[in-house]
Amino acid sequence: MSEQRVALVTGSSSGIGAAVARRLAANGIRVVVNSARSRAAGEALAAELPGALYLQGDVADPADAQRLVAQAVEHYGRLDILVNNAGTTRFIPLDDLAAADAQAWREIFDVNVIGTWQLTTAAVPHLRASGAGCVVNISSVSAIRAMGSSVPYAVSKAAVNHMTRLLASQLGPEIRVNAVAPGLVDTPWYAEADEVWESSRDWITAHTPLRRVGTPEDVADATLHLVDAGYTTGDVLTVDGGRHLV
Protein backbone atom coordinates (compact mmCIF):
# COMPACT_ATOMS: atom_id res chain seq x y z
CA MET A 1 0.00 0.00 0.00
CA SER A 2 1.29 3.44 -0.95
CA GLU A 3 2.02 5.89 1.85
CA GLN A 4 0.59 8.72 -0.25
CA ARG A 5 -2.82 9.89 0.95
CA VAL A 6 -5.85 9.33 -1.29
CA ALA A 7 -8.88 11.62 -1.58
CA LEU A 8 -12.22 11.02 -3.26
CA VAL A 9 -13.77 14.33 -4.35
CA THR A 10 -17.34 13.96 -5.56
CA GLY A 11 -18.74 16.25 -8.22
CA SER A 12 -15.24 17.32 -9.21
CA SER A 13 -15.29 17.67 -12.99
CA SER A 14 -15.73 21.46 -12.78
CA GLY A 15 -16.22 24.42 -10.45
CA ILE A 16 -15.48 24.04 -6.75
CA GLY A 17 -14.85 20.30 -6.99
CA ALA A 18 -12.25 20.69 -9.73
CA ALA A 19 -10.48 23.43 -7.77
CA VAL A 20 -10.43 21.19 -4.68
CA ALA A 21 -9.06 18.28 -6.70
CA ARG A 22 -6.28 20.46 -8.12
CA ARG A 23 -5.39 21.89 -4.70
CA LEU A 24 -5.19 18.46 -3.06
CA ALA A 25 -3.13 17.05 -5.92
CA ALA A 26 -0.74 20.02 -5.72
CA ASN A 27 -0.15 19.03 -2.10
CA GLY A 28 0.86 15.46 -2.91
CA ILE A 29 -2.51 13.76 -2.45
CA ARG A 30 -3.78 11.21 -4.98
CA VAL A 31 -7.23 12.26 -6.16
CA VAL A 32 -10.25 10.36 -7.39
CA VAL A 33 -12.20 12.68 -9.69
CA ASN A 34 -15.92 12.01 -9.96
CA SER A 35 -18.97 13.24 -11.84
CA ALA A 36 -22.43 11.88 -12.53
CA ARG A 37 -22.57 13.00 -16.18
CA SER A 38 -19.59 15.08 -17.33
CA ARG A 39 -17.35 12.15 -18.17
CA ALA A 40 -15.14 13.91 -20.73
CA ALA A 41 -14.42 16.82 -18.38
CA GLY A 42 -13.75 14.45 -15.49
CA GLU A 43 -11.37 12.30 -17.50
CA ALA A 44 -9.55 15.41 -18.75
CA LEU A 45 -9.05 16.68 -15.21
CA ALA A 46 -7.84 13.29 -13.97
CA ALA A 47 -5.33 13.16 -16.84
CA GLU A 48 -4.03 16.57 -15.74
CA LEU A 49 -3.36 15.51 -12.13
CA PRO A 50 -0.48 13.21 -11.08
CA GLY A 51 -1.68 9.66 -10.48
CA ALA A 52 -5.36 10.65 -10.47
CA LEU A 53 -8.29 8.37 -11.30
CA TYR A 54 -11.68 9.25 -12.79
CA LEU A 55 -14.80 7.37 -11.72
CA GLN A 56 -18.26 8.15 -13.05
CA GLY A 57 -21.14 7.69 -10.65
CA ASP A 58 -24.20 9.36 -9.15
CA VAL A 59 -23.86 9.89 -5.39
CA ALA A 60 -27.66 9.79 -5.06
CA ASP A 61 -27.68 6.18 -6.28
CA PRO A 62 -26.96 3.76 -3.40
CA ALA A 63 -25.18 1.24 -5.62
CA ASP A 64 -23.04 3.95 -7.24
CA ALA A 65 -22.09 5.36 -3.84
CA GLN A 66 -20.82 1.99 -2.67
CA ARG A 67 -19.07 1.32 -5.99
CA LEU A 68 -17.23 4.65 -6.05
CA VAL A 69 -15.65 3.98 -2.68
CA ALA A 70 -14.91 0.33 -3.47
CA GLN A 71 -13.24 1.15 -6.79
CA ALA A 72 -11.16 3.93 -5.25
CA VAL A 73 -9.89 1.57 -2.54
CA GLU A 74 -9.32 -1.24 -5.05
CA HIS A 75 -7.22 1.08 -7.22
CA TYR A 76 -5.12 2.75 -4.51
CA GLY A 77 -5.36 0.32 -1.61
CA ARG A 78 -6.59 3.02 0.77
CA LEU A 79 -8.86 6.01 1.26
CA ASP A 80 -7.88 8.83 3.62
CA ILE A 81 -10.02 11.81 2.62
CA LEU A 82 -13.60 12.22 1.39
CA VAL A 83 -14.76 15.57 0.07
CA ASN A 84 -18.54 15.54 -0.39
CA ASN A 85 -18.83 18.28 -3.00
CA ALA A 86 -21.47 16.85 -5.37
CA GLY A 87 -24.57 18.99 -5.16
CA THR A 88 -27.52 20.31 -7.08
CA THR A 89 -30.03 23.14 -6.85
CA ARG A 90 -32.89 24.85 -8.59
CA PHE A 91 -33.07 28.62 -8.93
CA ILE A 92 -36.44 29.36 -7.29
CA PRO A 93 -37.21 32.72 -5.64
CA LEU A 94 -37.56 32.20 -1.90
CA ASP A 95 -41.06 33.69 -1.92
CA ASP A 96 -42.32 31.39 -4.72
CA LEU A 97 -43.53 28.59 -2.49
CA ALA A 98 -45.58 26.90 -5.21
CA ALA A 99 -42.53 26.46 -7.46
CA ALA A 100 -40.64 24.67 -4.68
CA ASP A 101 -42.73 21.56 -5.16
CA ALA A 102 -42.15 18.08 -3.74
CA GLN A 103 -40.18 17.00 -6.80
CA ALA A 104 -37.71 19.87 -6.33
CA TRP A 105 -37.24 18.92 -2.67
CA ARG A 106 -36.65 15.25 -3.55
CA GLU A 107 -34.16 15.99 -6.33
CA ILE A 108 -32.12 18.37 -4.17
CA PHE A 109 -32.19 16.24 -1.00
CA ASP A 110 -31.33 13.05 -2.92
CA VAL A 111 -28.00 14.54 -4.00
CA ASN A 112 -27.12 17.05 -1.29
CA VAL A 113 -28.19 15.14 1.81
CA ILE A 114 -28.70 11.48 1.01
CA GLY A 115 -25.74 11.41 -1.39
CA THR A 116 -23.49 12.92 1.27
CA TRP A 117 -24.71 10.35 3.80
CA GLN A 118 -24.28 7.42 1.43
CA LEU A 119 -20.73 8.29 0.41
CA THR A 120 -19.70 8.96 3.99
CA THR A 121 -21.09 5.74 5.43
CA ALA A 122 -19.54 3.74 2.57
CA ALA A 123 -16.18 5.39 3.22
CA VAL A 124 -16.13 5.11 7.03
CA PRO A 125 -14.45 1.68 7.32
CA HIS A 126 -11.62 2.78 4.99
CA LEU A 127 -11.23 6.22 6.58
CA ARG A 128 -11.04 4.51 9.98
CA ALA A 129 -8.39 2.11 8.68
CA SER A 130 -6.38 5.10 7.48
CA GLY A 131 -5.78 6.08 11.10
CA ALA A 132 -6.27 9.77 10.30
CA GLY A 133 -9.27 9.85 8.01
CA CYS A 134 -11.24 12.98 7.35
CA VAL A 135 -14.44 14.10 5.67
CA VAL A 136 -15.03 17.63 4.38
CA ASN A 137 -18.59 18.45 3.33
CA ILE A 138 -19.17 21.39 1.00
CA SER A 139 -22.13 23.23 2.47
CA SER A 140 -23.29 26.82 1.91
CA VAL A 141 -23.73 30.08 3.78
CA SER A 142 -27.42 29.69 2.89
CA ALA A 143 -27.50 27.01 5.59
CA ILE A 144 -26.71 29.72 8.14
CA ARG A 145 -28.61 32.75 6.82
CA ALA A 146 -32.08 33.08 5.28
CA MET A 147 -30.85 33.25 1.69
CA GLY A 148 -29.89 30.99 -1.22
CA SER A 149 -30.87 29.78 -4.65
CA SER A 150 -34.04 28.15 -3.29
CA VAL A 151 -35.64 27.11 -0.01
CA PRO A 152 -35.03 23.37 -0.63
CA TYR A 153 -31.36 24.04 -1.37
CA ALA A 154 -30.82 26.15 1.76
CA VAL A 155 -32.58 23.58 3.95
CA SER A 156 -30.55 20.75 2.40
CA LYS A 157 -27.31 22.53 3.29
CA ALA A 158 -28.54 23.17 6.84
CA ALA A 159 -29.06 19.41 7.05
CA VAL A 160 -25.50 18.87 5.82
CA ASN A 161 -24.17 21.17 8.55
CA HIS A 162 -26.01 19.26 11.27
CA MET A 163 -24.98 15.93 9.75
CA THR A 164 -21.39 17.17 9.91
CA ARG A 165 -21.65 17.82 13.65
CA LEU A 166 -23.45 14.57 14.41
CA LEU A 167 -20.91 12.48 12.47
CA ALA A 168 -17.99 14.32 14.05
CA SER A 169 -19.35 13.47 17.50
CA GLN A 170 -19.59 9.79 16.62
CA LEU A 171 -16.59 9.07 14.38
CA GLY A 172 -13.75 10.48 16.47
CA PRO A 173 -11.00 9.90 17.26
CA GLU A 174 -10.17 8.02 14.05
CA ILE A 175 -12.13 10.25 11.65
CA ARG A 176 -12.59 14.02 11.63
CA VAL A 177 -15.66 15.53 9.95
CA ASN A 178 -15.89 19.22 9.01
CA ALA A 179 -17.65 21.41 6.48
CA VAL A 180 -16.95 24.49 4.37
CA ALA A 181 -19.85 26.93 3.93
CA PRO A 182 -19.12 29.16 0.92
CA GLY A 183 -20.99 32.32 0.06
CA LEU A 184 -21.70 33.20 -3.56
CA VAL A 185 -19.01 31.57 -5.71
CA ASP A 186 -18.32 32.11 -9.41
CA THR A 187 -19.12 28.62 -10.78
CA PRO A 188 -20.77 27.12 -13.89
CA TRP A 189 -24.11 27.03 -12.02
CA TYR A 190 -24.30 30.81 -12.24
CA ALA A 191 -22.96 30.96 -15.79
CA GLU A 192 -26.20 29.17 -16.69
CA ALA A 193 -28.32 31.74 -14.84
CA ASP A 194 -26.95 35.01 -16.17
CA GLU A 195 -29.57 37.40 -14.77
CA VAL A 196 -29.46 35.79 -11.34
CA TRP A 197 -25.67 35.81 -11.37
CA GLU A 198 -25.20 39.42 -12.44
CA SER A 199 -27.68 40.84 -9.94
CA SER A 200 -26.30 38.66 -7.16
CA ARG A 201 -22.69 39.55 -8.02
CA ASP A 202 -23.40 43.28 -7.88
CA TRP A 203 -25.34 43.06 -4.62
CA ILE A 204 -22.83 40.78 -2.85
CA THR A 205 -19.88 42.91 -3.99
CA ALA A 206 -21.53 46.01 -2.55
CA HIS A 207 -22.54 44.41 0.77
CA THR A 208 -19.58 42.18 1.59
CA PRO A 209 -16.57 43.44 3.60
CA LEU A 210 -14.09 41.99 1.07
CA ARG A 211 -16.06 43.57 -1.81
CA ARG A 212 -16.05 40.58 -4.14
CA VAL A 213 -17.72 37.24 -4.74
CA GLY A 214 -15.86 34.01 -4.06
CA THR A 215 -13.86 31.81 -6.41
CA PRO A 216 -13.58 28.03 -6.44
CA GLU A 217 -9.97 28.46 -5.34
CA ASP A 218 -11.13 30.24 -2.17
CA VAL A 219 -13.16 27.17 -1.25
CA ALA A 220 -10.31 24.85 -2.21
CA ASP A 221 -7.99 26.72 0.17
CA ALA A 222 -10.45 26.27 3.03
CA THR A 223 -10.94 22.60 2.20
CA LEU A 224 -7.21 21.90 2.25
CA HIS A 225 -6.98 23.70 5.59
CA LEU A 226 -9.60 21.38 7.10
CA VAL A 227 -7.97 18.32 5.54
CA ASP A 228 -4.76 19.14 7.42
CA ALA A 229 -6.26 20.66 10.60
CA GLY A 230 -5.62 17.65 12.81
CA TYR A 231 -7.29 19.04 15.95
CA THR A 232 -10.45 20.34 14.27
CA THR A 233 -13.67 18.36 13.97
CA GLY A 234 -17.36 19.24 13.88
CA ASP A 235 -16.60 22.70 12.52
CA VAL A 236 -18.40 24.59 9.75
CA LEU A 237 -15.94 27.06 8.24
CA THR A 238 -17.67 30.03 6.61
CA VAL A 239 -15.96 31.29 3.44
CA ASP A 240 -18.06 34.24 2.29
CA GLY A 241 -15.83 37.31 2.32
CA GLY A 242 -17.39 38.41 5.61
CA ARG A 243 -20.95 38.57 4.29
CA HIS A 244 -22.27 36.85 7.44
CA LEU A 245 -21.09 39.85 9.49
CA VAL A 246 -23.41 42.40 7.90
The residues carrying an active-site annotation are: 153
The span from the CA of 33 to the CA of 230, in Å, is 24
Q: How far is CA 95 from CA 62, 146, 148, 151, in A?
A: 33, 12, 12, 9
Closest C-alpha among 243, 244, 239, 245 to residue 20: 239
Question: How do the residues of the chain divide into helix, strand and coil, expressed in percent and rounded to 5?
Answer: 50, 15, 35
Q: Return the DSSP state at 117.
A: H
The span from the CA of 77 to the CA of 70, in Å, is 10
Q: How far is CA 74 from CA 125, 131, 169, in A?
A: 14, 18, 29
